Amino acid sequence: MKELEERIRQEGRVLPGDILKVDGFLNHQVDAALIDRMAQEIIREFKDQRIDRIMTVEASGISLAQSTALHLGVPFVFAKKAVSGNIGADVYAAPAYSYTYGRPYEMVVSRNYLHAGEHVLLVDDFLADGRSASAMIDICHQAGAIVEGLCVCIEKGFQPGGKKLRESGIKVFSLAVIEEMDEDHIVFGTRE
């Protein structure tokens, strides 16, 4: 998505450890109009597939998941990064890893909000090593749900996540793919 690539070029900053800082429009302050246009791109890509529910991970994927779900007329659920008092103990859980925070966590979704036979579209802000996406897929499989695909705002194509997921049969749709980056430049590529 050219508009997203331009925003990354203009406002993105590369930090040590292959961190791309895009908090001015994506994952701290949110440009709601841009998010809505990204959701419309996702809907065009998955228009011929049955989607019963959108799933994301707290917190940065929520705005895109909400906009996509609103346009599709389906509910969305976000996986929590810890069991909390208001979610209860009856959950699907999978080990995950936060690339940004550099630590493992347990991803959880209440069994009340993910059901067998549902067709689920996964949405997230970034795809790097694929561990968060793999945890969402694991949770869907535990529930007996069907994963229709994974949509991400930004894929770090130089990291193994996208390749591993595609090789496992998951349809991955990335709105922007970064092939290489450092503090002086960002090179975009494409994914099939």
Q: What is the residue-averaged pLDDT of the chain?
A: 94
Mean pLDDT over 123-140 rounds to: 96
pTM above 0.75, yes or no: yes
Domain ranges, ordered by start, for the chain: 2-189
In angstroms, the CA 28 to CA 38 distance is: 17
Q: Among all chains, which residue has been given the structure tokens 């790097």?
A: 128
What is the 3-state composition of the chain as percent helix, strand, coil, each rounded to the nearest 5?
30, 35, 35
Cβ partners under 8 Å of residue 180, min gap 6: 158, 186, 187
Mean pLDDT over 78-87 rounds to: 80
CATH number of 2-189: 3.40.50.2020
Mean pLDDT over 64-93 rounds to: 89
pLDDT at 175 over 60: yes
What number of residues does the chain have? 192
Residue 56 confidence (pLDDT): 98
pLDDT at 43 over 70: yes
Q: Which residue has the higher pLDDT, 37 or 81?
A: 37
Give me the sign of the Cα torsion angle 125, 89, 134, 121.
negative
Mean pLDDT over 113-135 rounds to: 96
Mean pLDDT over 175-192 rounds to: 90
